Structure 1
Amino acid sequence: MSEKKIPFTEAEIREIIKTYPTPFHIYDERAIVDNARKFLAAFAWAPGFKEYFAVKATPNPHILKLLQAEGIGADCSSMAELLLCEKIGISGEEIVFSANDTPYEEFAKAMEMGALINLDDITMIDYMERRGPLPAAVCMRYNPGPLLKEGNALIGMPEEAKYGMTRGQIFTAIDMLRRKGVARFGLHTMVVSNELAEANLLHTAGMMFDLAVEVQDKLGVNIEFIDFGGGIGIPYRPEDKDVDCAVLSAGIRRSFEEIMVPHGLGEVRLAFECGRFVTGPYGYLVMTAIHHKDIWKHYIGTDASMADLMRPGMYGAYHHLTVMGKETAPADHVYDVTGSLCENCDKFAVDRKLPQIDEGDILVVHDTGAHGHAMGFNYNGKLRSAELLLRKDGAVTQIRRAETMDDLFATLDFTSFRK
């Protein structure tokens, strides 16, 4: 069981709302930093261990700087994410660039910044070489396909996923790159997302260790680093169990010592690209109940929408919901909690047992610290909300302002309609 905590009281959040109207996302600085430190400490045994925060999860410079101060790098997958890192001083091999279907301009920018390049497709070798030099260090993303018997709801079965190379392509790619002068190699995979079972995560580690040993045996190439990707989940539902970092780390260590060390690979660096696991539980979407509707079901309308949190509408994902000031009240009403988007999937909760909700009540959606604001959009002309940071001392800083209509219309040309 996971306890769904909120780092502010009803009185405190109503005071914040006086300055920053709902809806907004707010992140708990102290909890994010403490969690990052706990994760890094769990893998202190691993030589040169590195966590590259998945920028796509929460692409905000204030969050990235918090994590950079803890020694965490950045996992980028687009030009915008590379530029965001550049603007705040993250560069070199503090970045791993893991993109798919990638335009050359993005490869070129990543190489200019000195990032580690993680190739998703063997054809990218020729594609890059025809346009410029190859990077000095290359990582290959592995897709085990049907060799991995279990998939994951978010990524799916590996053979159905668009990511990565086959086992045969991994060996061919390394041999090709070695002949072209590349001297440093890494391996990468990510076959699950939001995985809560330590056993499945451990299986992935063992699979990658076996692959590294086989690369050494068949090609005489020593792998420099192994990146397990992200994929570590968080308990969105109160009945879910947290991933135990100590258990996960101990299991990976056993596998590392059993497989890698006897083959002289005990200095291979290990890495993760966790985004959700680092910040996910420590972000909250705060919104206000503004309408009731009673037809075939009972609806609570809010001033937020799917544009502020896409996951429930896109995936049918569960996010816990708290009615501020009614935390201990009986959950004796059943509601669909909705937004105003002209789509029937614009719902934060469906058939959810909650306390009686009155207009003006403050509702808090949990676990929006990753893939929350970042997945926002402007369909229906909806404006993306603000992001706030709850500081360790209790102060609140706006780290992204809410969009305005001027922002929304900035790329449109109205000049031909003016007299």
Structure 2
Amino acid sequence: MNAINKMTNHFYFGGCDTIELAKKYGTPLYVMNEEHINERCQEIRDDFLNKYENTKAVYASKAFLTMKMCKIIEREGLGIDVVSGGELYTAIKADFPMEKIIFHGNNKTLDEIEIAVKNNVGRIVVDNLYELELLNSVAQAFGKNVEILFRITPGVDSHTHKYISTGQVDSKFGIPLKGDIINEAVKKAMDLSNIMLMGFHFHVGSQLFDHSSHIKAVKILVKLMDDMKKKTGFVTRELNTGGGFGIYYKKGDEPKPLTYFTDAIMETIIDECKTYGLLIPLVIIEPGRWIVGEAGITLYTVGAIKEIPDVRTYVGVDGGIPDNPRPALYGAKYDVVVANKMDQEKDEVVTIAGKCCESGDILRYDLEVPKLHSGDILAFKSTGAYNYSMSSNYNKIPRPAVVMVCNGEDQLMVRRETYEDLLKNEL
């Protein structure tokens, strides 16, 4: 997928010359590789869906979502999870099968719940008792029965950045397993006229290289399944184990194959259910970043180069926080190549600065590169997840275009915003 053309010494991605892509579409430019996405989906089918009975996989669309992406996921036989009305609307406009959608969110609005119920979304993951009551009233108004999962906070601390850790006790997500809250929630759901409780959901965090937190959470959830059966008579039919499988971003990262997580999850569920004498529920996984993270790159053009003697050399590019907030938000780091100088020795160290009016708009500190000049093209790798989806118009900067590449062919997927687009809603 990633290659160097020895004739041009250019960086190729998905069979396409990235320098030609930059000329054709301009920069900054998001480039997504459909081959990589297809391969990851195939791996899910081979090593999880076809390996274990009674399993499902849904794509966590918050990582990257367009109508084209919906079509790819539908073709690959996976479901989609959404967390907002906008993501759900995108799936609706793409004619994605509604029964294969799972709707998450810790504070769904009335409008979002109405859209989900009206369009027969397959599962709604209920985060709290307020939402449970609201959902039931909406379902009654539409004359629908809604199948739900309860999101559980298992109290597991994953070793990742605190902003992407979600399974600890002190979390804005889910129902904590403290006191009698979950008992009350299960009893309430069983009593409500238009609610069908199917099971439970958990998510322990993102960008994980160790499966220990998944194993701990599974054990906690299976015990919960047993407790709820004894206390309320509820039999769990579905257990959604979330995602969070880590990918490669930079030197030192050691991502594991999908089976490292899924085999551990399934073996633990099977063993624990056997111990408690429970039927094995339908098991769901929700990979997002793992499917699209390494499938994307972002191209930038070098502009001003500012050398501060004996201190630092700043290399300005035509993007920054608006197209990739993760370095400023999480301290995220990426592998970077000079796409038009792949054959040249890296003999200087520079800091890549974004163009926004923020001192924190630094895309990469202390990067080893060949001698740079204005007009060079930089390619930031592994930007397929949480770059386009988190992009903004800070400093009134239009969002970049998104291009899909596959087997040497390129296709515009999202057009570049214009200045006029920035003002279209202003009065």
TM-score, normalised to structure 2's length?
0.89
- 1:144 — aligned with what? 154
Structure 1 residues 287, 150: closer, same or farther in 2, change over 3 A? closer
- 1:353 — aligned with what? 368
Residue aligned with 2:213, SS: helix
Q: Which amino acid aligns with 1:138?
A: I
Query: How far has the Cα of 1:130 moved from its partner?
Result: 4.4
Q: Which moved more, 1:397-406 or 1:66-75?
A: 66-75
How far apart, CA to CA, are the structure 2 residues paired with 1:203 and 1:355? Answer: 46
How far apart, CA to CA, are the structure 2 residues paired with 1:150 and 1:51? Answer: 22
Structure 1 residues 52, 59: closer, same or farther in 2, change over 3 A? same
Aligned mate of 1:170, from 182, 199, 202: 182
Question: After the TM superposition, which residues 298-313 of structure 1 pair with which residues of structure 2 at under 5 Å, given as runs?
Answer: 298-313=313-328
- 1:75 — aligned with what? 81
Query: How far has the Cα of 1:230 moved from its partner?
Result: 2.3
Q: Which moved more, 1:368-377 or 1:204-213?
A: 204-213
Whether 1:66 aligns to 2:72 is: yes
Q: Which moved more, 1:128-137 or 1:240-249?
A: 128-137
Q: Which runs of 5+ in 1 are unaligned?
A: 414-419
Whether 1:180 aligns to 2:185 is: no
Whether 1:21 aligns to 2:21 is: no
Query: How far has the Cα of 1:298 moved from its partner?
Result: 0.5
Question: After the TM superposition, which residues 46-65 of structure 1 pair with which residues of structure 2 at under 5 Å, given as runs?
Answer: 46-65=52-71
Aligned mate of 1:288, from 292, 301, 311: 301
**Cα RMSD (Å):** 2.1
Q: Which moved more, 1:192-201 or 1:381-390?
A: 192-201
Percent identical residues? 25
Query: How far has the Cα of 1:51 moved from its partner?
Result: 1.7
Whether 1:205 aligns to 2:218 is: yes
Question: After the TM superposition, which residues 187-198 of structure 1 pair with which residues of structure 2 at under 5 Å, given as runs?
Answer: 187-198=200-211
How far apart, CA to CA, are the structure 2 residues paired with 1:161 and 1:25? Answer: 32
Question: After the TM superposition, which residues 200-279 of structure 1 pair with which residues of structure 2 at under 5 Å, given as runs?
Answer: 200-261=213-274, 263=276, 265-279=278-292
* Alpha-carbon contact 2:117-2:146 (below 8 Å) kept: no
* Alpha-carbon contact 2:405-2:411 (below 8 Å) kept: yes
How far apart, CA to CA, are the structure 1 residues paired with 2:399 and 2:185? Answer: 42
Residue aligned with 1:158, SS: coil
Query: How far has the Cα of 1:155 moved from its partner?
Result: 2.8
Aligned residues: 407
- 2:359 — aligned with what? 344
How far apart, CA to CA, are the structure 1 residues paired with 2:183 and 2:77? Answer: 32
Query: How far has the Cα of 1:373 moved from its partner?
Result: 1.0
Query: How far has the Cα of 1:305 moved from its partner?
Result: 1.9
Q: Which runs of 5+ in 2 are unaligned?
A: none
How far apart, CA to CA, are the structure 1 residues paired with 2:219 and 2:291? Answer: 23
- 2:346 — aligned with what? 331
* Alpha-carbon contact 2:158-2:204 (below 8 Å) kept: no
Per-residue Cα deviation, 1:348-388 (whole angstroms, up to 9, x for no partner): 10122233222221100011111011111111111100000
* Alpha-carbon contact 1:7-1:28 (below 8 Å) kept: no
How far apart, CA to CA, are the structure 1 residues paired with 2:385 and 2:417? Answer: 19
Whether 1:405 aligns to 2:419 is: yes
* Alpha-carbon contact 2:117-2:138 (below 8 Å) kept: no
* Alpha-carbon contact 2:222-2:272 (below 8 Å) kept: yes
Residue aligned with 1:71, SS: coil
- 1:123 — aligned with what? 130
Per-residue Cα deviation, 1:233-288 (whole angstroms, up to 9, x for no partner): 21211321112222222222221221124555444111122210111111000111
* Alpha-carbon contact 2:154-2:221 (below 8 Å) kept: no
How far apart, CA to CA, are the structure 2 residues paired with 1:103 and 1:248? Answer: 33
Query: How far has the Cα of 1:328 moved from its partner?
Result: 5.1
Structure 1 residues 316, 261: closer, same or farther in 2, change over 3 A? same
* Alpha-carbon contact 1:385-1:401 (below 8 Å) kept: yes
- 1:416 — aligned with what? none
Structure 1 residues 132, 408: closer, same or farther in 2, change over 3 A? same
